[in-house]
Amino acid sequence: MSEEIAISLRNVSKSFKRYHRPVDRLKEILLPGENRSDEFWALRDINLEIPKGQTFGIIGRNGSGKSTMLQIIAGTLTPTTGEVRVKGRVSALLELGSGFNPEFTGRQNVFFNGRLLGLSQTEIESKFDEIAAFADIGDFIEQPVKTYSSGMFVRLAFAVAVNVDPEVLIVDEALAVGDIAFQHRCMRRMRSLMDSGVTTLFVSHDSGAIKTLCNYAVMIHDGQIYTSGFPSAVIIEYMKLMTNIEIGLEQNEQTAESNTNNQTNDGFKQLVVNNQIEQLDRLFNGISRRGNGNALIERIELIGSHHEFNPEQIVFGFNEEVTLVAEIKAVKPLKGCVLGFFICDKNGNEILGTNTFEERVDIKALQPEQRVEIRFKFKLPLRTGSYSLTVAGAENPHAIPFDWIDNAIVFQVLPPESGKQIHSLVDIPIDVTVDQIEQSVIKEHVS
């Protein structure tokens, strides 16, 4: 394996045996000549190389094979076929409870796990205070782990994982547990590890965390690599797949209630909708979109103080007031309509946004071919850089989107004319006051 590659998977597959009844497992052991199980392939032909120092995000539906792949990389599972190579000390936080003995105290588990990771007794002793401080579970560190809450457990497990000088860190959904303050502490610690060159594999359903922490991502679906690339692009494909799955389930339910003629008619209508979407994709330069097609967003404009929209050159001044204009055409009858938008940074993180439901704007029912134009007016107090606009609509806040367009418009924001340097993503007016403190008051406090 190359010096630059920390993790390499070549044609890795993993199969498990599935038994219809528990007794079939026993019969197969007692009668080895007869196969009573089915093969289930959790992974198929995974080929992946992760460079040293990269923070690698992994996303996918439950049951897609993510955790199986991580366990193979961590060495707790053996692949059925293929080759796995990992260079460096691996610290893995896979499942809540894995690696800890519930009968041992927190202190004993820290030393036990440290030795498993290859640290000497002296090294663990030198790091124990740091681990205990990070976990911040107080006197419970001396109590058996079986008495811990799930939050306390993951605090200690994460504290061990990130403080044993790992060269490869694997985190599987562990950050979903714990209070808000601890989650922020974990994020800061992971950023510190990233900056120090630790290769990190991060599995999460939190698309914001994937986009913020990771510099590359892969999506696993049905045991195979579905897509890979920059996190924002992978998240878009993931959301598109999830929407298509939801639409498929919805259509299956509708099909079960309809006759053959209605099915044929619905299929024709869906074909018409797909053709309309393809035409609109060309209008929006082929960007990514998804939805059930019950209505279509046919026009999107972002207009500044110049009062005109030029898709070839979209530049706004700092804190300039802009108007987002979106035109919707109903394809099928809609009981209502909710339209919303996000302004995203170059990594796909949502910076600001809203929707008509949150703004208490009620859009009534729409009939096929009926159109409605919606305008949002707001300012852009954003740091200098490039941003993208995502626009989406649905029949109600909880429904499958009828149309969702990612990166519909990409635009630039110029620096403030005052020359002020903005240290955050968004700059809002802040009042700063300075009061001169009398020397006599200072002396009173000191005394």
The answer to whether residue 348 is domain-embedded is yes
Domain that holds residue 317: 276-413
For 232, half-sphere exposure in the C-beta direction (CA atoms, 13 angstrom radius) is: 14
The answer to whether residue 261 is domain-embedded is no
pLDDT of residue 19: 78
The answer to whether residue 264 is domain-embedded is no
pLDDT at 323 over 90: yes
pLDDT of residue 163: 85
CA distance 273 to 289: 13
CATH value at residue 309? 2.70.50.60
The reported pTM is 0.74
Higher pLDDT: 208 or 217? It is: 217
- Looking at the structure, tell me whether residues 171 and 77 fall in a common domain: yes
Mean of the pLDDT values across residues 171-192? 75
The closest of 354, 392, 352 to 376, measured between CA atoms, is 354
Query: What are 246-271's pLDDT values in tens digits?
Result: 777 666 666 655 554 444 344 434 44
The answer to whether residue 267 is domain-embedded is no
The answer to whether residue 332 is domain-embedded is yes
pLDDT of residue 217: 94
Mean of the pLDDT values across residues 408-424? 89
CA distance 216 to 211: 9
CA distance 65 to 45: 12
Choose the weakest-confidence range: 69-78, 94-103, 314-323, 400-409.
94-103
Query: What are 80-126's pLDDT values in tens digits?
Result: 999 999 998 888 877 655 678 889 999 999 998 888 777 888 988 99
Q: In DSSP terms, which residues pair with 76 in a beta bridge?
A: none
Q: What is the mean pLDDT of the chain?
A: 84
Pairing, β 168-172 against β 199-203:
parallel
Choose the weakest-confidence range: 291-295, 417-421, 441-445.
441-445
Asked whether the beta carbons of 148 and 156 are under 8 A apart, the reply is: yes
The answer to whether residue 253 is domain-embedded is no
The answer to whether residue 420 is domain-embedded is no
Cα-flanking dihedrals φ and ψ of residue 146, to 5°?
-65, -15
- Looking at the structure, tell me whether residues 218 and 340 fall in a common domain: no
CA distance 218 to 227: 6
In three-state secondary structure terms, 365 is: coil
Q: How many domains does the chain have?
A: 2
Mean of the pLDDT values across residues 167-196? 78
